[in-house]
């Protein structure tokens, strides 16, 4: 689904060209939930931005869905991907359903079908009752659910998540992770999750690359777990 072959990326840091991603080779299979974990500044978000075509490598090749990502293919390939952020990236002056409808508006698709689809997705993420609410009145967890519903509007084959639960409390985080897992199972979506939180990665991922100073230090396979939201009491009493 995604392949990096010897990918490197340089940035200018303090007027000096610095190699931020250093010869990374990795391969992510269809339907995997793949984690990228590592210290702050190790290059995780940069890897995601390379994967979604936002920036280009200085060296090496990136393949999305078995096609090489380049100037010619980028626009078409990136249409099958979507991104979820720590900060939700919603428009505060629009209500919930208007936010969910944004991608289809940009793509100028049939309006009536889309309203029905947006309503269905809001029901899937558990927000049917908040369709007309304004974003500023929602909790963090609700905002991330809106962002996830919006992501699903374009039927992405690939979802990239950059620290999707870092702004949320533990219980809400679990609920969002469960939702991502449900999406992976129901829609067979491949998901790449960046986090510096090991518990998030352990709860969600099948495979994890440990990133250290722009390199893959290790790749670990994890046993998949049944995810369920835990109560505060359980969390407090667990080891």
Binding site for ligand ATP (CB under 6 A): 11, 13, 20, 38, 40-46, 196
CB 126 within 8 A of CB 146: no
- Residue 40 or 132 with smaller CB distance to ligand ATP: 40
CB of 23 to ligand ATP, least distance (A): 15
Q: How far apart are the first and last CA of the chain?
A: 37
Residues that bind Mg ion (CB under 5 A): 45
CB of 26 to ligand ATP, least distance (A): 15
20 binds, among ligand ATP, Mg ion, none (CB under 5 to 8 A by kind): ligand ATP
CB of 14 to ligand ATP, least distance (A): 9
Beta strands 158-162 and 190-195 are parallel
CB of 39 to ligand ATP, least distance (A): 7
Which residues share a beta bridge with 220?
208
Tokens of 90: 């919603």
- Residue 178 or 196 with smaller CB distance to ligand ATP: 196
- Residue 44 or 117 with smaller CB distance to ligand ATP: 44
CB of 219 to ligand ATP, least distance (A): 17
The whole-angstrom separation of Cα 185 and Cα 51 is 22
> Which of the 8 DSSP states describes residue 134?
B
- Residue 149 or 204 with smaller CB distance to Mg ion: 204
- Residue 91 or 198 with smaller CB distance to ligand ATP: 198
Question: What's the residue count for the chain?
Answer: 239
Residue 190's closest CA among 3, 54, 1?
1
H/E run at residue 63: strand 59-64
101 binds, among Mg ion, ligand ATP, none (CB under 5 to 8 A by kind): none
- Edge to edge, the sheet with strand 67-68 lists 16-28, 2-13, 59-64, 67-68
- Residue 24 or 130 with smaller CB distance to ligand ATP: 24
CB of 202 to ligand ATP, least distance (A): 17
42 binds, among ligand ATP, Mg ion, none (CB under 5 to 8 A by kind): ligand ATP
Tokens of 66: 């078995």
CB 45 within 8 A of CB 25: no
């Amino acid at each position: 689904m995604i392949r990096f072959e010897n990918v490197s990326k340089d940035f200018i840091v303090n007027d000096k060209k610095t190699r931020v991603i250093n010869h990374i080779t990795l391969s992510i299979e269809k339907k995997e939930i793949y984690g990228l974990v590592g210290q702050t500044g190790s290059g995780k978000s940069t890897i995601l931005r390379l994967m979604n075509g936002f920036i280009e490598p200085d060296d090496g090749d990136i393949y999305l869905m078995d096609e090489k990502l380049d100037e010619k293919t980028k626009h078409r390939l990136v249409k099958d991907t979507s991104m979820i952020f720590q900060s939700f990236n919603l428009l505060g002056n629009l209500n919930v359903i208007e936010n969910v409808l944004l991608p289809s508006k940009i793509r100028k698709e049939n309006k009536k079908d889309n309203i029905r689809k947006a309503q269905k997705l809001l029901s899937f993420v558990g927000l049917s009752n908040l369709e007309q609410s304004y974003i500023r009145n929602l909790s963090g967890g609700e905002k991330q659910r809106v962002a996830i519903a919006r992501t699903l509007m374009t039927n992405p084959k690939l979802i990239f998540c950059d620290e999707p639960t870092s702004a949320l409390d533990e219980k809400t985080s679990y609920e969002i992770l469960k939702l991502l897992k449900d999406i992976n199972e129901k829609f067979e979506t491949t998901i790449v999750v960046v986090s510096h939180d090991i518990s998030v990665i352990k709860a969600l991922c099948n495979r994890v690359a440990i990133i250290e100073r722009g390199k893959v230090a290790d790749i670990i396979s994890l046993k998949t777990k049944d995810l369920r939201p835990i109560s505060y009491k359980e969390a407090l009493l667990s080891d």
